[in-house]
């Protein structure tokens, strides 16, 4: 089973981003997703910089994928999207239907249907496959049971990528909640999310972690972690996606690789991962339960 590192969802300083990806060149990940998917105001790295990082990782033997934005809001966003579609060095992950349309019109094949396309039935997935998608990144809310039923309804199999680790990306909005947190407008946000490595935890009145604010993106407060479920997960997909976090991502990747290779058991890997997690674990969605739950089968 292959390991993929999803796109960086947070806004880190330029040098921190470059150092992070340089450190992954020798890691056991097979695919690396690059590019800004959350907010077009984040400009520490421009598109040409992402391409340069991609060439460095490709030279190290990694499959490189350029991810498109999940929420297109302006002509400048469209301009960047068109450049991504036109380039031929890397595969493309389409994260909105505008990207799907441009890829189809350009006759591009072998692209990836991103998780924010919200595919929940075989008819939609088959349409994307007929348009040229050869891999599908599953929406994190999908349960194992629903995923199995959906795959069984396809005319032909498609490579399936399961979100296996990281704070769950739940929603995108035109409003920036990080700016609102600091009592600022979105257009004058002062780039307050820069250097907030793992987002801002939103708590209930009782002080319980509830959600995570990440600019225009809302995430879970807990960390979705399927390490303990790997025996079942491998039956439903071919690729596991790990979402980058502010520290210790390489250690998390190594744990997944060790568990997949049989060097440690899934239960042992889950227990070891607690040292590297930025919050408590959850796996409820995978089991068809509330996403916030940490479910252990009896």
In order, the DSSP letters of 124-174 are HHHHHHHHTEEEEE--TT--HHHHHHHHHT-SS--EEEEEEEEEEEEEE-S
**What does the alpha-carbon distance between residue 9 and residue 39 come to, in Å, rounded to a whole number?**
9
pLDDT range class, residue 298, cuts 50, 70, 90: low
CB 203, CB 209: distance < 8 Å: yes
Entry pTM: 0.96
Query: 90-131, pLDDT tens digit by residue?
Result: 999 999 999 999 999 999 999 999 999 989 999 999 999 999
pLDDT range class, residue 213, cuts 50, 70, 90: very high
pLDDT of residue 296: 84
DSSP 165-223: EEEEEEEE-SS-HHHHHTT--GGG-TTTTTT-TT-EEEE-TTS-EEEEEETTEEEEEEE
DSSP state of 67: E
- pLDDT above 80: residue 257: yes
pLDDT range class, residue 195, cuts 50, 70, 90: confident
- pLDDT above 70: residue 169: yes
């Amino acid at each position: 089973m292959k390991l993929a590192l999803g796109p960086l969802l947070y806004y880190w300083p330029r040098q921190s981003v470059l150092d992070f990806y340089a450190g992954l060149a020798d890691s056991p990940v097979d695919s690396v997703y690059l590019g800004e998917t959350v907010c077009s105001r984040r400009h520490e790295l421009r598109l040409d910089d992402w391409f340069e990082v991609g060439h460095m990782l490709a030279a190290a033997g990694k499959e490189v994928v350029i991810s498109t934005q999940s929420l297109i809001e302006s002509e400048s966003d469209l301009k960047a999207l068109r450049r991504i579609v036109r380039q031929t060095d890397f595969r493309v992950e389409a994260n909105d239907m505008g990207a799907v349309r441009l890829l189809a019109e350009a006759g591009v094949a072998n692209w990836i249907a991103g998780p924010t396309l919200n595919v929940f039935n075989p008819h939609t997935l088959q349409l994307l496959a007929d348009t040229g998608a050869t891999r599908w990144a599953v929406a994190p809310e999908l349960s194992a049971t629903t995923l199995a039923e959906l795959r069984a309804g396809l005319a032909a199999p498609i490579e399936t990528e399961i979100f296996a680790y990281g704070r769950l990306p739940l929603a995108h909005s035109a409003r920036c909640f990080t700016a609102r947190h600091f009592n600022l407008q979105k257009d004058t946000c002062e780039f307050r999310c820069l250097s907030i490595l793992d987002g801002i935890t939103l708590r209930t009145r009782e002080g319980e972690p509830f959600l995570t604010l990440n600019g225009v993106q809302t995430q879970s407060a807990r960390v979705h972690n399927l390490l303990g479920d790997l025996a079942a997960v491998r039956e439903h997909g071919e690729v596991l996606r790990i979402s980058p976090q502010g520290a210790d991502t390489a250690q998390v990747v190594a744990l997944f690789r060790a568990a997949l290779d049989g060097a440690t058991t899934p239960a042992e890997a889950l227990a070891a991962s607690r040292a590297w997690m930025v919050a408590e674990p959850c796996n409820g969605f995978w089991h068809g339960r509330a996403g916030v739950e940490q479910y252990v089968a009896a």
